[in-house]
Amino acid sequence: MAERPKRRPARSAAQTKLKQLEARLAHLEDQLQTLRREASSSVGATRSRLESLERRAATQISQAQHTLKQSLDSITRTLTASRDSVGSNAGRLTRAVRAGMRASRRAYRGGTHH
């Protein structure tokens, strides 16, 4: 029988937002490069305006990078806490199931048989 291809899990809202942020950041960085090229070949008032635009774009990019880093750090902390929580809960569940099975065996063996 042919194996079915594994489906990728649906992206969470946070993952979608991160991808959108990354795409917008890449677009801003491209625009900044264009501005820098145009400013370097311009003179006078035009050059001054382009350099002003370049500084504003660089500030926006810096803020976006900072926000993205904070988001990634937050997601990393959340995933670590979640993984630790799942691990400890799985351990407790495993111990509880084993204890229940032992109690069940003892009750079965200790019960009266007619």
Q: What is the pLDDT confidence band of residue 25, given thresholds at 50, 70 and 90?
A: confident
> What is the average pLDDT score of the chain?
83
3-state secondary structure 11-22: CCHHHHHHHHHH
Q: How far apart are CA 59 and CA 36, in angstroms?
A: 14
Q: How far apart are CA 109 and CA 27, in angstroms?
A: 71
**Contact (Cβ atoms closer than 8 angstroms) between residue 31 and residue 57:** yes
Answer left, alpha or beta for residue 44, where phi above 0 means left and psi between -120 and 50 means alpha: left
Distance of CA 42 to the CA centre of its chain: 41
Q: How many CB atoms lie within 10 A of CB 114?
A: 2
Q: How many CB atoms lie within 10 A of CB 111?
A: 7
The model's pLDDT over 68-106, given as tens digits with 9 standing for 90+, comes to: 888 888 888 888 888 888 888 888 888 899 999 999 888
Annotated domain spans of the chain? 23-110
